[in-house]
Amino acid sequence: GRAVETGFLEHLWNAPTKDVYAYTEDPTLNWSTPDEVIVGFERGVPVTIDGKRVSVLDAIEELNTRAGAQGVGRLDVVEDRLVGIKSREIYEAPGAMVLITAHTELEHVTLERELGRFKRHTDQRWAELVYDGLWYSPLKEALESFVAKTQEHVTGEVRMVLHGGHIAVNG
């Protein structure tokens, strides 16, 4: 993925211009045929795209191309930085968005209800620690041990349709 900030985006009223985006097509102008993709996971790790064995890097690269062509993966957010500054940032992460969507769906059908609820809170806290630069935090390490345990049965395939900036899970 990629992030764009500063310059004209420092003024929250300014909308991002088309030249800000490099990985994704404009979803409002995308008249292409929808793209159906099947992502397979083993113990929470993506291992196949449409039945073809891939590395995690290969999965991200292929999904960046395919989802980006469908306008998937644009995020326009105002962040609340650790030092108190509000900052508008544009992110493009088409491959990551597809993998997150697929993985979340698979967790919904493989994790017990209470475990799934707690896992969602854990994911949020882990992301906050990483964002705040606490990569070597003992808490982050402990959360990763918990997450690893939750992934023991997160195995299977998820079918999705990518089109017009959206990801629709359909199997």
Q: How far is CA 94 from CA 19, 56, 116, in A?
A: 17, 14, 24
**Residue 9 counted as domain residue:** yes
Q: Which residue has the higher pLDDT, 119 or 79?
A: 119
**Residue 33 counted as domain residue:** yes
**Residue 128 counted as domain residue:** no
Q: What radius of gyration do the chain's Cα atoms show?
A: 17
Indicate the SS3 state at residue 92. Answer: strand
Give the residue among 147, 108, 105, 157 at the shortest CA–CA distance from 125.
147
**Which residue's structure tokens are 């299977």?**
156
**Residue 119 counted as domain residue:** no
Query: Where in the sequence is the domain holding 105, given as residue range(s)?
Result: 1-110+151-162
Tell me: pLDDT of 30 over 80. Answer: no
Q: How many domains does the chain have?
A: 1
Give the per-residue pLDDT at 10: 80
**Residue 100 counted as domain residue:** yes
**Residue 169 counted as domain residue:** no
Give the per-residue pLDDT at 13: 85
pTM (predicted TM-score): 0.91
Confidence of residue 82 (pLDDT cuts 50, 70, 90): confident
CB of 59 closer than 8 Å to CB of 51: no
CATH number at residue 22: 3.90.1260.10
Distance CA 66, CA 60 (A): 10
